[in-house]
Amino acid sequence: MEITPRFLQPPAQSFFLFGPRGTGKTTWLRDALAEARFFDLLRADVYRELAARPERLAEAVLGLRKGATVVVDEVQRLPELLPVVHDLIERKHGYRFVLTGSSARKLRRQETDLLAGRAVVRTLHPFMAAELAAFDLEAALRSGLLPLVVAAPDPGDVLAAYAGLYLEEEVRAEAMVRNIGGFSRFLEAVSFSHGSVLNVAAVAREAQVQRKTVAGYLELLEDLLLSFRLPVFTRRARRKPAAHPKFFFFDAGVFRSVRPRGPLDRREEIDGAALEGLVAQHLRAWCAYTPAEAELFYWRTRGGSEVDFVVYGGAGFWAIEVKNGRRVDRSDLRGLRAFREDYPECEPLLLYRGEETLRVDGVMCRPVSEFLQSLRPSGPIAVGD
């Protein structure tokens, strides 16, 4: 099977590799670390053997050559292996451990210390447009860029089953949620917050559960790496910033799969949220993969000025607005102009669904498809010529 090269580079030292199910962690590792010894905890026989006696991992590893690479796949299924790995690292035999996970919940719940800093943390995200031989914006907005879905003969069927996979295998099997019906209503309700400022009380009312329960459900989604919250950019703020984060599902296709649609839903509204989410997941992946330090924020003031994304760090400083329209109006630049007044050091950029690169009021406006295909962690974010 042909393997799609990914931008993520494996560290030379031991590392954790996190990412939701379906992002291709195992496929990437078997390609990038073909000589490694794999322990796949999704295999029933491997799980039973190591669960019965975790020290069997040490016995198997000590039988390998010094300096070998060892992969423990889905380590959150058996956190008891972490002390064994920690001890093997402390013996300084030169083994490199790669510990993958699609959930951080058990690791944190059992107060594991992620090997006390002995291993760095990396994340694998859905495909970036530039990783694909051919990128189709419309298909990405409809089905997302989760490798499991991109490779499927019928992406719609896979997406329809994806939320069910987590409800059944992660939520129900680990007894994380007692009220599965309430959690399902929450998933639908919170989908309306995708790309928007998160109002926990409103989600609780819509899902007919308590506010505290919604807070727990949000934490669960983040533990399963299915969503993230984008904080407000507040550095050297001249205006009073908003207090609440924005909410996103980790992939535009997963958002579309849980977002209810009916006669009262405008297509442009859903498409606009999907487009903003698609840009968000690309910028998030770029921040994770780039060698230079970079963090992703959004900007909103109490007065109502807003910019969809702010990328800030050693890699640079960019303010990015996303519009679903095919034409640029000067009113679309209002938030960027306000941000540039407060932060003249930033590089402003507007992304839209048109086909021309424009400069309007000193702001570069680029076709979003072209921008996503040019976004590579090996270089800075390209605003334009």
- Collapsing DSSP states into helix, strand and coil, what is residue 161? helix
pLDDT above 50: residue 111:
no
- 208-221 residue pLDDT tens: 999 999 998 898 88
- 32-72 residue pLDDT tens: 999 999 999 999 999 999 999 999 999 999 999 989 999 99
pLDDT score recorded for residue 71: 97
Task: Express as a percent the part of the chain with pLDDT over 70.
Answer: 91
Tokens coding 361: 């009021």
Distance CA 385, CA 382 (A): 8
Host H or E run for residue 34: none
The number of beta carbons lying within 10 Å of the beta carbon of residue 361 is: 12
- 239-248 residue pLDDT tens: 777 779 999 9
Give the least confident one: 17-21, 25-29, 257-261, 372-376. Answer: 257-261
pLDDT score recorded for residue 378: 87
C-alpha distances (whole Å) from 107 to each of 11, 16, 121 are 21, 12, 13
Rg (CA), the chain: 22
pLDDT above 60: residue 175:
no
Average pLDDT on 162-184 reads 70
Give the least confident one: 168-172, 329-333, 376-380. Answer: 168-172
pLDDT above 70: residue 178:
no
Distance CA 125, CA 247 (A): 17
The chain-wide mean pLDDT, for the chain, equals 90
- 274-298 residue pLDDT tens: 999 999 999 999 999 999 999 999 9
Phi, psi of 38 (to 5 degrees): -100, 135
DSSP count for the chain of H helices, then E strands: 15, 14
Domains defined for the chain, CATH in brackets: 15-123 (3.40.50.300), 129-259 (no CATH), 281-374 (3.40.1350.10)
List, in order, residues 6 or more apart from 339 with CB less than 8 Å away.
299, 305, 307, 310, 319, 346, 348
Average pLDDT on 89-97 reads 89
- 315-354 residue pLDDT tens: 999 999 999 999 999 999 999 999 999 999 999 999 999 9
Instruction: Report yes or no: 210 and 204 within 8 Å, Cβ to Cβ.
Output: yes
Instruction: Report yes or no: 308 and 321 within 8 Å, Cβ to Cβ.
Output: yes
- 223-236 residue pLDDT tens: 888 999 999 999 88
Task: Express as a percent the part of the chain with pLDDT over 90.
Answer: 68
pLDDT above 80: residue 119:
no
